[in-house]
Amino acid sequence: MALNMTFRQLKVFESAARNLSYTRAAEELHLSQPGVSMQIKQLEEVVGLPLFEQIGKKMHLTVAGREVYAYSKSIGHLLDEAEVVLNELKGLQTGRLSISVATTAGHFATRLLAAFSQKYEDVTISLDITNRASLREQLEANRPDLVIMGQPPEGVEVESEAFMENPLVMIASPNHPLAFERELKLERFEREQFVVREKGSGTRGAIERFFKEQQVKFQTGIEMTSNEAIKQAVEAGLGLGIVSIHTLELELETKRLQVLDVNDFPIQRYWYVIQRKGKRLSPVAQTFKTFVLEQAREFIRVP
């Protein structure tokens, strides 16, 4: 039996399935809600099975819905790649660039994109600065062209290239008793409280692994969802922090924070530029990737 479904039906269904909401799909695709309902109803008639079920107030995918969702994503990705190939054949040098960046890389990534944008004025850039969990989800869904983050996520097939060191340093308020001591031993911090990122954060994972390898206890005091919040809490004296030195430019210049002189520090990490494995980059995305690999260091400012 041939499945005479249309790409439009699949596109509408993919959006509704991803959002688990007809309303959000309608907003995303600039359609009316009845229009979304009609497209999905027609697709269900073609498939011969219901694709959604309502349980209480929540919408869920049926088993058939989950299968169709997987295929709709694959078909969407193939059509996106076809567009890239056809644009390459036309020699298209303008276009859209979708970049997602870890919050810790936001400081230098915005400068990097501003410089790229000045060089390639006809490129429309979409930038999302978000946390590690969201970046992993985006890579899984093959949404952004490229991602800039620390350690590549596990469980997702990606291609990654390290382009720069990302040292994690220990910070304190300038009023902290340890602020100006030299060659501090790590053991001295077993009783100190640390202000940390949420569980699942790449920085948090790297710190916990480091302390475990050094066989030193690591005490978490307050959890924060951003580096800005960590820096403010440390400055207020709520504990010590461990952050990327690339996020400290302003605070070190204004002497609002102090980097501690700790043995075995900094914790050495790297920044990576990442894409979904097998993804065919557009000429614009490939040009940006080369720009990152060759010139990213120029946009780091550390006093």
Please write the tens of the pLDDT for every residue from 120-163.
Answer: 887 889 999 988 889 999 999 888 999 999 889 888 999 999 99
Q: Is the pLDDT of residue 110 over 60?
A: yes
Say if residue 153 is in the same domain as residue 283: yes
Say if residue 73 is in the same domain as residue 108: no
Task: Answer whether residue 232 is part of any domain.
Answer: yes
Task: Answer whether residue 222 is part of any domain.
Answer: yes
CATH number at residue 245: 3.40.190.290
pLDDT attached to residue 79: 82
pLDDT attached to residue 88: 59
Say if residue 287 is in the same domain as residue 245: yes
CATH number at residue 20: 1.10.10.10
- Given 54, 87, 120, the domain boundary residue is 87
pLDDT attached to residue 124: 86
- Given 87, 112, 136, the domain boundary residue is 87
Task: Answer whether residue 253 is part of any domain.
Answer: yes
Say if residue 68 is in the same domain as residue 105: no
Q: Is the pLDDT of residue 91 over 60?
A: no
8 Å CB contact between 193 and 240: yes
- Binned at pLDDT 50, 70 and 90, residue 87 comes out as low
Q: Is the pLDDT of residue 260 over 70?
A: yes
pLDDT attached to residue 74: 86
What value, to the nearest 5°, has the Cα angle with vertex 58 and ends 61 and 225?
100
Average pLDDT over residues 33-42: 92
8 Å CB contact between 288 and 121: no
Total domain count, the chain: 2
Each residue's pLDDT tens digit, 203-227: 888 899 999 999 989 888 888 888 8
Q: Is the pLDDT of residue 41 over 90?
A: yes
Say if residue 119 is in the same domain as residue 74: no
Task: Answer whether residue 2 is part of any domain.
Answer: no
Say if residue 129 is in the same domain as residue 269: yes
Task: Answer whether residue 62 is part of any domain.
Answer: yes
Q: Is the pLDDT of residue 92 over 60?
A: no
Task: Answer whether residue 92 is part of any domain.
Answer: no
Mean pLDDT estimate for the chain = 87
Q: Is the pLDDT of residue 200 over 80?
A: no
- Given 87, 107, 131, the domain boundary residue is 87
> What tokens were used for 229?
């919040």
8 Å CB contact between 21 and 59: yes
Average pLDDT over residues 85-91: 61
Q: Is the pLDDT of residue 1 over 70?
A: no
pLDDT attached to residue 16: 93
Say if residue 103 is in the same domain as residue 201: yes
Which range marks the domain in which residue 47 is found?
7-87
Say if residue 131 is in the same domain as residue 210: yes
pLDDT attached to residue 6: 87
Say if residue 155 is in the same domain as residue 300: yes
Say if residue 197 is in the same domain as residue 254: yes
> Percentage of the chain with pLDDT > 90?
41
pLDDT attached to residue 94: 61
Say if residue 73 is in the same domain as residue 217: no
Return the amino acid letter for 285.
A
Say if residue 169 is in the same domain as residue 279: yes
Q: Is the pLDDT of residue 29 over 70?
A: yes
pLDDT attached to residue 192: 87
Ranges 93-97, 149-153, 194-198: which has the least confidence? 93-97
